[in-house]
Each structure stands twice: as structure tokens, then as C-alpha cells.
A and B are shown apart, each in its own frame.
Chain A
Amino acid sequence: MAYTLNINGVRHTVDVDGETPLLWVLRDTLDLKGAKYGCGGGMCGACTVHINGSPARSCVLPVAGVVTAAITTIEAIGDTPVGKKVQEAWLAVDVAQCGYCQPGQIMAATALLTSKPKPTDAEIEAHMNGNICRCATYNRIRTAIKMAAGEIA
């Protein structure tokens, strides 16, 4: 069936089964490879995108359910002021190891800082806990979030 999606401000019409998770529509139908497959079960956050500004796990989001939503992916998050700051902080802190989880981390961090510009340590932990980094770059993720929040230079 055909679905029209609003992704990064552009309308795309895709012909897929309505049960198809948004993740696979992004990756395989629309060739937006930034959102990653990690677990397929909402447990790791590698596939995080924004649905109307809120972080969501695209691997468990049937495409039929997001036709009216504004979908933002890592490819366009740098167009938002907070997203850009987060990406810059990620580079300044040299967060990534393998980097595979980082698009999801950046999407989660951007959502956090958009709703809470100066999060406490506890808020950072609570908000970022759904995003696994197998390389365990957590020390630097914390630092980068604080840098993007303007709390450290």
C-alpha cells in the first residue's frame, strides 16, 4: 500500500506493507542509512528518530502509524540549532569508537536538550539509558551532552 511520509521536511511516498517498521523504510526504501539496526525490539536505541520532536524507536514503529507525523532523522538533525550543537560537541569530545550507536545517541541527546537545556546528571542518565553503546563511550557521551548544554567548554 502507498504511504506518504513527511521525513526531514520532505514528502516521500512509499509502497510498502503498513506493518513495515519505519526503520526499514528509511534504510532500504528511502536509502537513509543513518538510523541503525541494533536489536529490532526497542531495546538499544540505535534506530532512534524523532517523531514530532520526541525520540522514538523506529524499529518498532509500523509505518502506517506515522503518516501524519513530522519525522526527523540523523541526516537532518544538524539543521536544528540543538542538533547542530550536539553534533559539534560529539566531534569536539571525539566520542565515537566504532560509531555505530552514535546516530541514535545524538538523536536521543538532541531530544533531551531540546526539552531540558540544562539537564542534571540524573536526568542525563535517565534519558540516555535506552541507548546502548557496545563500545561503552558513556564517559564521553556525558561530557558531550554537558558541552552541548554549554556547561563545559
Chain B
Amino acid sequence: MNQIMNHQSPMTSRVTSRRVFLKASAAAGGGLLLNFKLAPLSAAAANTPETAYGAFIRVAPDGIVTIAAKNPEIGQGIKTSLPMIIAEELDVDWKNVRVETASVSEEKFGLQSAGGSTSIPRNWDNMRRVGAAGRQMLVEAAAKTLRVPASELTTASGVVTHAASGRSLTYGEIASKAAVVPVPDLKTVVLKDPKTFKIIGTATKDVDGPAIVTGKPLYGIDVSVPGMLYATYEKSPVFAGTVARANVDEVKAMPGVRHVIVVPGTLAPGATRLNSGLSGGVAIVADSWWQAVTARRKLRIEWNTPASVSQSSEGFAARAAELAKQKPEMSIRRDGDVDAAFKGAAKIVEASYSYPFLAHACMEPQNATAHFKDGKLEIWSPTQNPGAGRGIAAKALGVAEKDITMHMVRAGGGFGRRGANGNEMCAEAAWIAREAGAPVKLVWTREDDIRRDTYRPGGFHNFKAGLDAQGKLIALSDHFVSYGSNGNFANNAAMGGNIFPAEFVPNLDFGASLMPLGTPTGSLRAPGSNALAFVFQSFLDELAHASGRDPLEFHLDLLKERRAKAAGGGDDGRAAFNPERMTGVLKLVAEKAGWGKRTLPANTALGLAYYFSHSGYVAHVAEVMVNGPNPTPRNVKVNKIWVVADVGGHIVNPSGAENQVQGAVLDGIGQIMGQAITIARGATVESNFDAFPLLRINQAPPVEVHFLRTGNNPTGLGEPALPPTLPAIANAIFAVTGKRLRDLPLSKSPGASV
């Protein structure tokens, strides 16, 4: 799936058009059991069999409410925030809520995935209605018991009260009776007035917190299955290479080694997608993982290497520079007449930008545990998308999907790596387990993890802009040199036609040229936007300076220039871009940061940037100090970043939300400072944190987060706060030094090597 080309229906209709089905029954051990399922987005699921309902909410006789969390937990806090929404409308106290992780069934629970910051938007309305329906059933059961009209009853903290007679019943007391009350129509259940919310909007701690701080086994890598062996798996350094020869016998003789398995692989020649099959390689299965990786050091493999062995980052840069001199191969969007407008412009500004491939580097390396028995497979994996894991394993092994049980395990970070594009470790573990005839835990080394990733694709942008005599932007062109072939962009390497300032400039021309790429690419936190925000927001800052205006004023004026109320808009096409909402966050962040109002220390300046992604409006101001004429990661210090986000009217969990935004911003600092994946001889050069540095605490400034509440449905937060970070810092660096950072990262800039 290519997220940034996914110009579909707006978010709101997608949310409300999904149907929810609810079923009530008596819980084992007494109490009320409310099962519900969400209709799959595409199919009509009204007649899905009864078994397709999953246990979701249980109200026990002691008043304890258990809620199954349906979405994978990758650190975005969804295991806490979705149950919060249900508990709110059910009207119980959070302290009486227990959260369990749901098993994996798309039929039962609808789409179970973490990605695109969509968990909250997809589930907000549905979860509220389910909780409200449960409350209504409990009220009706109480009305019968007390022989009063339901309309005279109120609820609070898990208690139904009849004020007139002074009587009350706890949910626990009536839960069993509520189980026989007919399930209300979800469309018409009465939802709470948001003003009365007690749980939604209250900072709530991660439900797994106590287990995390005491080191309990929670993650995929912690899974233990009786009789389990451990595996390491070496694949071709060049993607889609296969094993020609390997010294299997020598490795087999190493201590603890049980099996050395040559996996033929099922990738088609020339494949460029990780999830299109199983990569060939050699698996070593041993009594312990350390024995397996120790034996692996003795492994010598001769590879059948695909043609992409000739590719390199250097070669791509040279080719991109050639292509930039030619006309784009294809058009992305054309408005007005840029050539004529350039001729009539008072000023022309041209600049080329580039950004590198990036790895995800989840803190928990990729892993999966599999058990193949009697034609059936069981898989445990820390995935963002368990359905995708099942799919790729089914295809690779030729096992029916219904014969594969997936166990959703907490993931040590996701960032897009464990989503629909990935999950190949599930197929690898399954294959190895089948061959080994025992349960196998496959753990990738960090080196495997960084060298075999679905990278955020690099890209090259060649801009030209025309300003009129008043400094107004009248024409803009971008020749985007990206990856792909035959007119098809590589995975996640596309650019949509709605990137701001499209629709805000009368003459516009976006075109693209493609270079073939053998390395798999995929979505990284804020896909598309994480790169496009940097180039567009940096270039717009150049234009503000070229027009001799304050960047804030330049942008506020530009945001008034909307040409047409277009249906699409936004870089991910999920929702129409609303310039008023952007203006709101921009003004507020300027105010919070004291834009134009503060005297700053020496060698220090502010930079501004904003971006619309994943339906969220986010603006940043970065205060940056640069101690030296040429900015480098050593002399650039980000003192502070202010963030204002408009992600709708409700922040379900302000504690998690602030954490997510701070994390996204700091992630962006890591990217701008020193992250780059280099391709040489068709393979990835970097392999661990020494060469692919993640941000450390000494580079992490305070991030001040504000949410601008607007009357819109809540949208996700894990992603939209990242994109503006890079340009905000780059723009501040320019304001201090007059040097424009046009090629990421800073560690590779010409100044850094001086």
C-alpha cells in the first residue's frame, strides 16, 4: 500500500460508515459479557457467523470491568487509550478497569493494526457507542429491578442511582440481569456530553507500566515456548539474492547447533518488496541463541546476486543530478502556466534538496517465534499488523490462513517497520520451525535489523519559484527525482499532488522522474511527510527570506491564498486541508515561543515550520544555537522546541499524547543530525548504532507541547508531530548562520567534514 498516494474518502465518512455489531450474554462466573465486532471496511459483515464475535467487555459481579484491547501495542499507548474511551461511556471508574490483550482476528475485531495514526480516529465513535450501549443495558436492568422508569435513573462510577427514592445498585449487582436486556441500537444510544467526560481527557498511566518497570516478560523477544530452539538467519546482503553454496557441515559441527537449514526463498527474481515472499538464506538453529550466532560467524555463503548489486547511493545521487537537468518523466500536478509566470516574476529562486534512506531501528530487534505442528502454525510476534504476518507466513509455507494462530505480543517500537510492508520474520520463523521440527524463536541481530529493513526511501527535489514585486509566491515547480520503474513509484517513494502549497499558488508544476531500486522501501513514522515536510517547508522559508519578509507573516499570508476548495488536500489525502486550522496552530506556536518578541542569546535563532499529515495540524518553533560558521552535529544545539497540535476536540489521554509528541519531535532531531542509510554494491553499509546513531539524552532538548482544541473528531498523534521538526531546525540554523541545510543529514553536510 502506498500511503501517500492513497487519496480516498475523507476520514470522517470512513469512521462513521463502519458498522458495529454488538451481542450480549451472561459471562462465565456471572455478570455481563458484551461482545462486539466491527464490520470490515470493505465487506458487508452483517451475516458473519456468531463465532466471529470476540469477548470485549465483561462486567463482573464484583464490579470489575475487563476490556480487551484490540489494537497492537507498539508504544503508542493504544492499549490504554481505547479502553479509556469505552470505560468513559460505560461510566465506570478507571481504577476498576482491567485491560487484556485481544487475540488476533480481523473478523472479530475489524482491522487490527497500528499505523497511520489511525487507531483513535477509526475507533473513537465505535468505542463510545459500545460503552454507551453497555451503560444503557445496565440502566434498563436497574429500572426493572427497582421498578422505576429508566429515565429517572442516573449513573456514575459504576453505580445506577434513583435519586427520587434514594436507592442505588452497583453495576456488579445488576450485571447478570443486564445480560438478558435486548441490545440497543448503536446508532441511537445516548452518548455523554463531552463536557462531563471524566476519563477521556484525563492523564492516564500506561496499563503495562508496572510490568515494564519491573522487567516482566512482555515483548515478542521474551516469548518462551516449551521445547523451543533458537535461530539466527543470514540473508543475502543484496535483497533477493539466493544461496549458491554454504559450508553447512562445518557450521553444523559447532557447539549446540542442531540444524543448519538452507532456505531456498520464494521471492520472484527482481522482487523489490519485502513482503512479496520469503528471502533465501541460511538458518542456524541451536540450543541457545548465543550458540546460534556464534556458529554463524563461521558461516561462509556464496550468493547468487541480483542485478541490483550495481546500485549505490553515490550512483543514485549522480543519476538524480543528471535527471534534474531533463524534463520530468511524468507529471504529478499542473496548475496555470508556470513557464509564463516565471518569465513575468520579479524574482526567481532555485534550490535542490535531498534526503537519505532511513532505517526504523526499533529498539526491539525483529523477531518471531513459531511452532508448526500437524499442518497448523502458531506464531508469536511483536507486530503492528498481525494479519499481515499471518498472510506472509501462509503464502511462504502454503498453509491456509485459517490454520495459523497469531499471538499479538507487545512490540518494542514499531515506527512502520512492523506494519503491512514487513512481517517477513513471521514467515522466516515459520519456515525454520517447520524444517527444525520444533518450536523456534528467531531473533534478528541488530545488524540484521538495520541491514534488512524497509527503508524510508531517499529522494531529490529540484525547486524553482517565482515571486512577484510584492514578494508574493506566484509560481512553483518541483522536479522530484525518486525511485521506481515503469512509471510506478517504489513503495512509499511517491509524492501526491496536494502537497502544500499546492492550491495556494496559481501556477504550479510538480513532476517526477524515477530510478530503479532493488532495495525494499516502506513506511516510516509519518510516511511521505517525514521527508516532504523538510523540503517544502525549508524551501518556503527560503522564499520568505528572498521576499524580504518575516517567515511567520509570509506563511500567514500564504495560507490565505487558497485557490479552490478542493476535495482532496493534505499530503496523505486522508482529509481536506483546512488553512484556518493551520493558521490557528501557527499563531499559537509563535505566541508560545515568543516569535519576534524575545531577545535571544548570541548565535541563537528561531526557526518555524508546520505541516499537515495524518489529519493533524502541527506547527513547531525551534530555538537553535550554532557555535561556528559551518553547522555540524557537534556545534548545533537545539535549545528547545515548542509544538502546537490541533488533532481535534479531544485528547483521549493527555499523558500519552504529550509523550508521543515529544518522542516524535526528538525522533526528528535524531534524523536531521546524523541518520542515513547508505547503499553500496546493492547492499546496506550501516549495521549498528555506531553508524546509524539514534538520538541520545544529551541531544534531547525540552519539548513544550500544547494542544489546540477544536471541534473536530480526534485524530492520531504518533506521527504528525514529527514532520515539522526537521525544517524548523534547518530554518533556525539558516537564521543563525545564513547557511541552508539542503542535504540531510547534518553530519554529511560539507560543513561537518571541515
Contact = CB atoms under 8 A, between A and B. Distances in A.
Contacts of B659: 94, 97, 137, 140
Contacts of A75: 214-215
A150 interface: no
Interface in A11-59: 16-17, 19-21, 24, 28-29, 31-41, 43-44, 46
B413 A33 contact: no
B206 A74 contact: no
B363 interface: yes
B75 interface: yes
Contact of B696 (A37, A78, A132): A132
B213 A91 contact: yes
Contact of A99 (B208, B230, B663): B208
Contact of B689 (A35, A91, A125, A132): A132
Contacts of B208: 96, 99
Contact of A28 (B206, B288, B413, B689): B288
B206 A99 contact: yes
A40 B415 CA distance: 21
Given A43-B690, A97-B75, A102-B213, A28 B670 contact: no
Interface in B51-77: 74-77
A125 B446 CA distance: 25
B363 A33 contact: no
B183 interface: no
Interface residues of B, number: 63
Contact of A36 (B412, B445, B665, B698): B412
Interface residues of A, number: 57
A132 B663 CA distance: 13
A37 B445 CA distance: 9
Q: Is the interface of A mostly helix, strand, loop or mixed?
A: loop
A65 to B, nearest CB: 15
Interface in B675-719: 688-690, 694-698, 700, 702-703
A87 B697 contact: no
B120 to A, nearest CB: 16
A142 interface: yes
- Interface-centre pick from B74, B411, B413, B697 (highest chain A CB count, 10 A): B697
A40 to B, nearest CB: 6
A101 interface: yes
Contacts of B361: 134
Contact of A94 (B255, B655, B700): B655
Contact of B209 (A19, A38, A94, A137): A94
Interface stretch (B148-156, B216-224, B539-547): B216-224
Interface in A89-114: 90-91, 94, 96-103, 106
B703 A38 contact: no
A135 B663 CA distance: 5
B75 A94 contact: no
A31 B216 CA distance: 11
Interface string B349-378: 000000000000111110000000000000
A143 B454 CA distance: 35
B209 A96 contact: yes
Contact of B215 (A19, A35, A43, A91): A35
A134 B362 contact: yes
Contacts of A32: 215
B289 interface: yes
A141 B660 CA distance: 14
Interface in A107-151: 124-126, 128-142
Contact of B210 (A17, A41, A91): A91
A44 B224 CA distance: 24
Contacts of B698: 125-126, 129
B212 A96 contact: yes
A53 B171 CA distance: 50
Contacts of A102: 212-213
A119 B653 CA distance: 31
B288 A41 contact: no
Contact of B688 (A39, A99, A100, A131): A39
Nearest to A136: B666
B696 A17 contact: no
Contact of A74 (B215, B294, B665): B215
B663 A136 contact: yes
A136 B695 contact: yes
A28 B230 contact: yes
Contact of B205 (A33, A91, A142): A91
A75 B216 CA distance: 8
B127 interface: no
Contacts of B517: none
B446 A129 contact: no
Contacts of B702: 139
Interface in B198-250: 203, 205-206, 208-210, 212-219, 221-222, 224, 230
B75 A99 contact: yes
A76 B42 CA distance: 50
Nearest to A101: B363
B700 A136 contact: yes
A132 B213 contact: no
Contact of A40 (B203, B288, B445, B663): B445
A140 B215 CA distance: 19
Contact of B413 (A74, A130, A135): A135
A129 B697 contact: yes
Contacts of A17: 255, 290-291, 294
A128 B697 contact: yes
Given A100-B413, A131-B697, A138 B666 contact: yes
B405 interface: no
Nearest to B361: A134
Contacts of A138: 666, 695, 697, 700
A126 B696 CA distance: 10
A36 B666 CA distance: 22
- Interface-centre pick from A19, A32, A136, A138 (highest chain B CB count, 10 A): A136
A40 B221 CA distance: 14
Nearest to A131: B697
A90 to B, nearest CB: 5
B443 interface: yes
A41 B655 contact: no
Interface string B655-669: 110011011011100
A41 B217 CA distance: 22
A17 B209 CA distance: 35
Interface string B284-308: 0000111100100000000000000
B212 to A, nearest CB: 4
Contacts of A40: 445-446, 688
A28 B230 CA distance: 9
A34 to B, nearest CB: 2
Given A33-B217, A139-B703, A43 B206 contact: no
A133 to B, nearest CB: 7
Contacts of B670: 136
A36 B688 contact: no
Interface pairs A-B: 10 shortest CB-CB:
A34-B215, A98-B75, A100-B412, A74-B215, A136-B666, A138-B700, A99-B212, A97-B75, A33-B217, A134-B363
Interface of B: 74-77, 203, 205-206, 208-210, 212-219, 221-222, 224, 230, 255, 288-291, 294, 361-365, 410-415, 443, 445-446, 655-656, 659-660, 662-663, 665-667, 670, 688-690, 694-698, 700, 702-703
23 contacts: A16-B290, A17-B290, A19-B294, A34-B215, A37-B365, A38-B446, A40-B445, A41-B688, A41-B690, A87-B214, A96-B75, A99-B218, A99-B412, A101-B412, A106-B213, A129-B696, A132-B689, A133-B697, A134-B363, A134-B415, A135-B363, A135-B413, A141-B697
Given A43-B689, A87-B214, A134-B412, 7 more contacts: A20-B288, A20-B290, A33-B222, A38-B365, A97-B413, A129-B696, A133-B363
